[in-house]
Amino acid sequence: MEIPLILGLQKTGLPLIITSGKLKNLCFLIDTGATNNILFTYVYEHFKDEFRVLEDKQRIMGIEGEYKETPVIEATFNFEGTDYTSTFSVFDGSDAIMQVQEETGVQIHGILSTDFLVKNKWILDFDKLTIKTTE
């Protein structure tokens, strides 16, 4: 299967994908430089009952370069008809996300990291501007 990236790239210059299914229309940034999946706090608060809170905590580097301890959740999202479950740090990135929203008109709800790509065997095809999956 292939998930297109072209729409997000054309509109914002960012590789974005949108969820479908129960938690539809959530927008995730594909970030090959990120080591942790992120779900922004305002999304977690809105859909709190849809996630499983884990006992783990993670220390992640915030946007301003300081480490912060974050709660960890397990979440399942549907992309192009397939469910994917992974762990996410719940992080308040309001300032940076608001800036992206003001510049592009698009609200980002979370970040999918290299960890997500590897675990789910997603391959970025830069020639076709797609994500290839094994599903």
Identify the burial level of 41 via C-beta atoms within 10 angstroms of its C-beta, where 0-12 means exposed, 13-18 middle and 19 or more buried.
middle
Q: How far is CA 133 from the centre of its chain?
A: 16
d(CA 94, CA 40): 8
pTM, two decimal places = 0.90
Burial 93-106 (b: 16+ CB within 10 A, else e): beeebeebeeeeee
pLDDT in the model for residue 135: 65
Residues 6+ apart with CB under 8 A from 127: none
User: Average pLDDT over the chain, rounded to whole?
Assistant: 90
pLDDT at 125 over 90: yes
Under 8 Å between Cβ of 82 and 9:
no
**What integer is the mean pLDDT of 72-98?**
91
pLDDT in the model for residue 98: 85
Instruction: Give backbone dihedrals phi and psi of 9, rounded to 5 degrees, phi first.
Output: -65, -40
**Token code pair at residue 16:** 């974005």
- The mean pLDDT of 57-67, rounded to a whole number, is 76
* Mean pLDDT lowest among 7-16, 74-83, 95-104: 95-104
**Going from the N-terminus, what domains does the chain have, and what CATH number goes with each?**
2-132 (2.40.70.10)
Note the pLDDT tens digit of each residue in 2-58.
888 988 898 888 999 999 988 999 999 999 988 899 999 999 999 999 999 998 888
